[in-house]
């Protein structure tokens, strides 16, 4: 893998990191919009596209663009490693004083980047993250499951992940250097952004619809993303097993005393096929569930111990 701490070059003022996965419909518009809206940074800008193993002609488009404009830098990963890995690849290759992360589908408006940088400089802080006031084009189910997930992770972990934020943020290079030092391969970037600390401020904006194409995240991917977030930042699910185990044993103990007393004092015959079957199934379910939770942690520990790199680079252009 690349040496993580590449030399930071002061001449680049702003580095823009854009992960790309099958975005042939959006890349060009994204590039032109950024050019247009960030005209003021024209000569001090670098745009780093990270192709996350696209199977459409995104690669071709990126190669053409990077030939026309050498401020465009491309990293082609050898397969689809996921957005979190693609973003890490970008983070490891930036040279700018400020770094912005933005999606290729222009859901996050590039025109507000100058105001975000201004906010960052005015408040003398290190990160300005976007907070979505509106989320156009996202279904009710996606919004409500996402709300529940962040509420849950907020309650369970010590780190604070601001509500309604995505990956759209401006950071200074100190934050980037801290992120590069993080060794884990199981990456939940939103959590890591909070974990590194520094002075962070929110910036409200309206999130648009995708300009073209479809979201690359189905519910199964989102579910795994949620598991990643929880297992990366809290051990509480493991502890819950202990407490539930204790509580159920205690309740079972009380119930057995009750039935024994009934048997010896009233002489009641002990019956209850239904109670038996229900309690066996209930306990079986709980045990399997916690075995599963244990497995989630164990599996991640296993992956982490292999120390495989986060991503594999096939080719780089202008870097
Ligand atoms: N993306 C990626 N790898 C993936 C999935 C997505 O690099 O495996 C990129 C995608 O090309 C886009 C960004 O991540 O630039 C956000 O993806 P998308 O718009 O599909 O997510 P949503 O906005 O629906 O959460
Ligand atoms: Mg999107």
DSSP letters of 55-120?
SSTHHHHHHHHHHH-TTEEEEEESS---HHHHHHHHHTT---SEEEE--TT--S-GGGHHHHHHHH
Q: Is residue 294 part of a domain?
A: yes
Tell me whether residue 214 is in a domain.
yes
Q: Is 80 in the pocket of ligand 1 (CB under 6 A)?
A: yes
Tell me the pTM. Answer: 0.79
- Residue 176 banded pLDDT, cuts 50, 70, 90: very high
Decide if pLDDT at 241 tops 90: no
To test the pocket of ligand 1, the residue of 83, 107, 145, 168 to mutate (highest count of ligand atoms within 8 Å of its CB) is 83
Number of domains forming the structure of the chain: 2
Query: If you average pLDDT over residues 197-219, what whole number do you get?
Result: 87
- C-beta 51 within 6 A of ligand 1: no
**Contact assessment for residue 11 and residue 45, using Cβ atoms and an 8 Å cutoff:** no
Quick one: 213 and 73 in the same domain? yes
Ligand found nearest the CA of 215: 1
Identify the band that residue 281 occupies on the pLDDT scale cut at 50, 70 and 90. Answer: confident
- Give the domain extent around 153: 14-231+313-317
Sort 265 into a burial class: Cβ within 10 Å, 0-12 / 13-18 / 19+. Answer: exposed
CA distances from 211 to 24, 149, 173 (A): 12, 27, 30
Report how far residue 252's alpha carbon sits from residue 242's, in angstroms, rounded to the nearest whole number. Answer: 15
CA 103–ligand 2 middle distance (angstroms) = 6
**Does the structure show a pLDDT above 90 at 248?**
no
Token pair in block for residue 102: 């933005």
Choose the weakest-confidence range: 278-282, 300-304, 314-318. Answer: 278-282
208-212: long-range contacts (C-beta < 8 A, 24 or more apart)? 208/106, 208/107, 208/108, 208/109, 208/136, 208/137, 209/107, 209/136, 209/137, 210/26, 210/105, 210/106, 210/107, 210/137, 211/25, 211/26, 211/29, 211/30, 211/105, 211/106, 212/25, 212/26, 212/29, 212/105
Residue 87 maps to a domain: yes
Mean pLDDT of the region 118-141? 86
CATH of the domain at 216: 3.90.550.10
Phi-psi region of 241 (alpha: psi -120 to 50; beta: other; left: phi over 0): alpha
User: Same domain, yes or no, for 58 and 179?
Assistant: yes
Ligand 1 proximity of 108 Cβ (cutoff 6 Å): no
Summarize pLDDT for 2-44 with one digit per residue, the tens: 433 344 444 888 999 999 999 999 999 999 999 999 888 888 8
Decide: 217 in ligand 1 pocket, CB within 6 A.
yes
Task: Identify the residue whose C-alpha is closest to ligand 1 atom 22.
Answer: 215
Indicate the SS3 state at residue 144: helix
My answer on whether 180 and 267 are in the same domain is no
Residue 211 counted as domain residue: yes
- Quote the CA–CA distance of 49 and 6 in Å, as a whole number: 17
CA–centroid distance, 215 to ligand 1, in Å, is: 6
107 lines ligand 1 (CB under 6 A): yes
Same domain? 300 vs 222 = no
Q: Is 21 in the pocket of ligand 1 (CB under 6 A)?
A: yes
Strands 45-51 and 14-20 turn out to be parallel
18 and 165 inside one domain? yes
Counting atoms of ligand 1 from 1, which one is nearest the CA of 215?
Answer: 20
Q: Are residues 169 and 292 in the same domain?
A: no
Do 221 and 158 sit in the same domain of this protein? yes
Nearest CA to ligand 1 atom 8: 82
Q: Of 48-52, 75-79, 242-246, which gets the smallest average pLDDT?
A: 242-246
pLDDT band for 101, please (50, 70, 90 cuts): very high
User: What mean pLDDT, rounded, does the chain reach?
Assistant: 87
In a domain, 1, yes or no: no
Q: What is the pLDDT of residue 172?
A: 94
Does the pLDDT at position 127 exceed 50?
yes
Which pairs count as long-range contacts for 79-83, CB under 8 Å and 24+ apart, including other chains?
Answer: 79/53, 79/312, 80/21, 80/52, 80/53, 80/54, 81/52, 81/53, 81/310, 81/311, 81/312, 82/52, 83/19, 83/21, 83/52, 83/167, 83/216
- pLDDT score for 15: 94
Does residue 104's CB lie within 6 angstroms of at least one atom of ligand 1? yes
Decide if the complex's ipTM is over 0.90: yes
Judge if 227 and 248 occupy the same domain.
no
Q: Which strands, in side-by-side order, build the sheet including 165-172?
A: 200-207, 127-135, 165-172, 98-101, 14-20, 45-51, 72-77, 313-317
Ligand nearest to C-alpha 18 = 1
Q: Is residue 52 within 8 Å of residue 59, measured between CB atoms? A: no
Do 51 and 75 sit in the same domain of this protein?
yes
- Same-domain check for residues 71 and 172: yes
Residue of 34, 101, 105 to mutate, ligand 1, most atoms within 8 A of C-beta: 105
| pLDDT given for residue 80 in this prediction | 94
> Each residue of 177-202: pLDDT tens digit?
999 998 888 888 888 888 899 999 99
Question: Which of the listed ranges 10-14, 41-45, 73-77, 233-237 does the model predict with the highest average pLDDT?
Answer: 73-77
Q: Which residue has the higher pLDDT, 270 or 83?
A: 83
Please indicate, yes or no, whether residues 134 and 261 belong to a single structural domain of this protein: no
Residue 316 Cα to ligand 1 midpoint, Å, equals 20
Ligand 1: residue whose CA is nearest its atom 2: 83
Q: Residue 154: inside a domain, yes or no?
A: yes
Is 138 a domain residue?
yes
Q: Which residue has the higher pLDDT, 185 or 315?
A: 315
**219 C-alpha to ligand 2 centroid (Å):** 14
Q: Which ligand sits closest to the CA of 82?
A: 1
Q: 246 pLDDT band (50/70/90 cuts)?
A: confident
Token code pair at residue 57: 């002609």
| 144 and 281 belong to one structural domain | no
Mean pLDDT over 235-251 rounds to 86
Residue closest via CA to ligand 1's atom 17 equals 216
pLDDT digits (tens, 9 = 90+) for 144-172: 888 888 888 888 888 888 888 888 999 99
Residues whose CB is less than 8 angstroms from the CB of residue 170 and which lie 6 or more positions away in sequence, other chains included: 98, 99, 100, 113, 116, 117, 120, 127, 128
Establish if 7 belongs to a structural domain. no
CA-nearest residue, atom 13 of ligand 1: 103
Q: How confident is the model at residue 257 (pLDDT cuts 50, 70, 90)?
A: confident
């Amino acid at each position: 893998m690349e040496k993580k701490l590449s030399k930071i070059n002061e001449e680049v003022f702003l580095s823009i990191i854009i992960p790309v996965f099958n975005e042939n419909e959006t890349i060009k518009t994204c590039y032109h919009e950024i050019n247009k809206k960030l005209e003021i940074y024209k000569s001090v800008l670098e745009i780093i596209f990270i192709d996350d193993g696209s199977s459409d002609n995104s690669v071709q488009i990126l190669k053409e663009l990077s030939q026309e404009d050498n401020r465009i830098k491309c990293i082609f990963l050898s397969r689809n490693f996921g957005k979190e890995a693609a973003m890490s690849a970008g983070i490891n290759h930036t040279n700018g004083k400020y770094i912005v992360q933005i999606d290729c589908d222009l859901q996050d408006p590039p025109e507000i980047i100058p105001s975000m940088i201004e906010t960052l400089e005015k408040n003398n802080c290190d990160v300005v993250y976007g907070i979505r006031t509106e989320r156009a084009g996202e279904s009710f189910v996606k919004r409500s499951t996402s709300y529940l997930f962040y509420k849950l992770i907020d309650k369970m972990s010590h780190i604070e992940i601001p509500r309604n934020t995505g990956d759209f943020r401006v950071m200074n290079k100190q934050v980037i250097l801290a992120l590069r030092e993080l060794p884990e391969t199981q990456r939940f970037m939103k959590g890591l952004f909070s974990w590194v600390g520094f002075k962070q401020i929110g910036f409200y904006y309206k999130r648009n619809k995708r300009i073209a194409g479809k979201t690359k995240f189905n519910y199964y991917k989102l579910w795994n993303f949620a598991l990643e977030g929880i297992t990366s930042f809290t051990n509480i699910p493991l502890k819950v097993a202990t407490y539930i185990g204790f509580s159920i044993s205690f309740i079972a103990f009380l119930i057995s005393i009750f039935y024994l007393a009934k048997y010896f004092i009233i002489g009641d015959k002990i019956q209850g096929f239904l109670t038996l079957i229900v309690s066996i199934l209930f306990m079986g379910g709980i045990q399997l569930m916690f075995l599963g939770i244990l497995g989630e942690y164990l599996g991640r520990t296993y992956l982490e111990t292999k120390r495989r790199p986060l991503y594999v680079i096939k080719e780089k252009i202008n870097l």
